[in-house]
Amino acid sequence: MNIDPIAELLVLFICLLASTSTLAWGLMAYPLRIAPRASTYFSLANLLILTGVLLTTLRDQTPSYLYWLGADMLLLLGFVLLRSGTQRLFRLSSSIKIDLALLLLTGLSMLTQPPSIAASDTLGIFFSFMAASTFLLMAKDNLVALEHTVKRPIAVILLSPIALMGVIFGLRALLLLIEPALKSHLASIQSADAIPMLWLYVVMTLWINVIMMGNALTRLVQKMRQQADRDYLTGLWNRRAMQQQLEQLHQRWLRDGQAYSLILFDLDFFKQINDKFGHSAGDAVLVKTAQQIGKVTRAMDIFCRLGGEEFLLVLPGTDGEVAEIIAQKLQQALRQSSLNWQGSLIPISASFGIVTTATGDTPDSLLALADKAMYRAKETGRDRCCTAERRLEQAQATPSQ
């Protein structure tokens, strides 16, 4: 079949976009290693779409399973991999098995029709329903992932091209079902009648890849930000992140008057552990401590490693009495834990300093008070809890508004 010159030019443009995207995603996967698994899926998806489009242009009057069924299945598999890449990018639950099962069902349905122009409308219906469901579900996946990082209206705007592609394929299926006379406009990419649809495919192909690229870079920025805020060894918040969150909590206390407390603790005899068993054992003790304390902290608590063997637990909405109870629980949790290091049991204990907000406090002054209380616990025998000492009238005061 002869292809319209303008339609041919648009098809070539789609192929250029797909091939460029294949290379770009391949570079992001290796050697740049930006979301490598998701980028690999996106690269492979564009390659399949490129191959499918090229095979579609070879359709003529001769029945051919390769140019009809093969081309359509490659295109649909490319769409499925786009969705799977999105799920891997945002660490969503994978639907690849269900998607592949639907793809297999679609392929079996297509086999009921002869692979030729005569059945192009029916084949187009099967193809379009599968493509529509894949793109609409892909838009839903992106919305679920992005609504936690951007406002919902912005997420909807960003994802509109993906959803629009799903809607277009759905309308294509319905129009082919209701009005077979539109076959030359909707079921072929070789005639002049298909030019408006091809233009739409060009725009959507470009826009969808731009969105996916933006999502991958957003994920990279989030990962870098998380690494900047987390302690490399224990995975806890680091001092920088703690100071930011503590300042925000302090401002809320000044505004609302809801007290919060700090528990600062330092592992006992940590230098002796390093000297006797080595720094690898010391690192293992730090990780064990983070794990044990993490088991008894609340979801709203802010658990940080300040550096060395020193840790801080920030307790929002917690007064001094409750903070003392929590500190005792932490103390008991460490007492009951030990590290089995190369056949030797290393006991773990810590000295705790506790402080609760009062009038005139700042984040720095609270940390200084907790630090003094912690060192008093060390000086009076270690493995104990001490509350910061204040004048009576200061301890009973409430924050000024």
User: Of 13-22, 48-57, 82-91, 202-211, which range is least confident?
Assistant: 202-211
* Range ranked top by mean pLDDT from 2-6, 7-11, 20-24: 20-24
Token pair of 164, please? 């629009």
Average pLDDT over residues 12-39: 89
309 is catalytic: yes
Q: Which domains does the chain have, with CATH numbers?
A: 5-228 (1.20.1070), 239-396 (3.30.70.270)
What does the mean pLDDT of the chain come to? 88
* pLDDT band at residue 391 using 50, 70 and 90 as cut-offs: low
- 186 vs 49, 121, 198, 228, CA distance in Å? 18, 8, 10, 51
- The Cα 303–Cα 229 span in angstroms is 12
Flag whether pLDDT at 389 surpasses 80: yes
Asked whether the beta carbons of 209 and 22 are under 8 A apart, the reply is: no
Catalytic residue among 147, 309, 324, 389: 309
pLDDT digits (tens, 9 = 90+) for 328-351: 999 999 999 889 999 899 999 999
Q: Which position has the token pair 């009062």?
A: 358
- pLDDT greater than 50 at residue 397: no
Predicted pLDDT at 184: 61
Query: CA-CA distance, 338 to 349, in Å (whole number)?
Result: 9
State yes or no: pLDDT of 47 exceeds 90.
Answer: yes
Give 50's pLDDT tier (boundaries 50, 70, 90): very high
226 pLDDT band (50/70/90 cuts)?
low
Question: Residue 326 corresponds to which tokens in the numbers above?
Answer: 């929590």
Strand (E) or helix (H) holding 53 = helix 36-56
Question: First-to-last CA distance in the chain?
Answer: 80
Q: What is the band of 61 on the pLDDT scale with cuts at 50, 70, 90?
A: confident
H/E run at residue 263: strand 261-267
pLDDT confidence bin for 187, thresholds 50/70/90: low
Query: Is 282 or 187 the better-scoring residue by pLDDT?
Result: 282
Q: Is the pLDDT of residue 42 over 90?
A: yes
Residues 253-282: what's their mean pLDDT? 93
* pLDDT single digits (tens) 298-333: 889 999 999 899 999 999 999 999 999 999 999 999
- Do β-strands 350-356 and 385-387 pair in parallel, antiparallel, or remain unpaired? parallel
| pLDDT at residue 382, as a whole number | 92
Res 398: pLDDT = 42
Q: How much of the chain exceeds pLDDT 70, in percent?
A: 93
Tell me 60's DSSP state: -
Q: Quick one: average pLDDT of 128-139?
A: 95
Lowest mean per-residue pLDDT among 174-188, 201-215, 256-270: 174-188
Compute the 3-state secondary structure of the chain and give helix, strand, coil in percent, each to the nearest 5: 65, 10, 25
For the segment 119-141, the average pLDDT, to the nearest whole number, is 93
Query: Across residues 242-262, what is the average pLDDT?
Result: 92
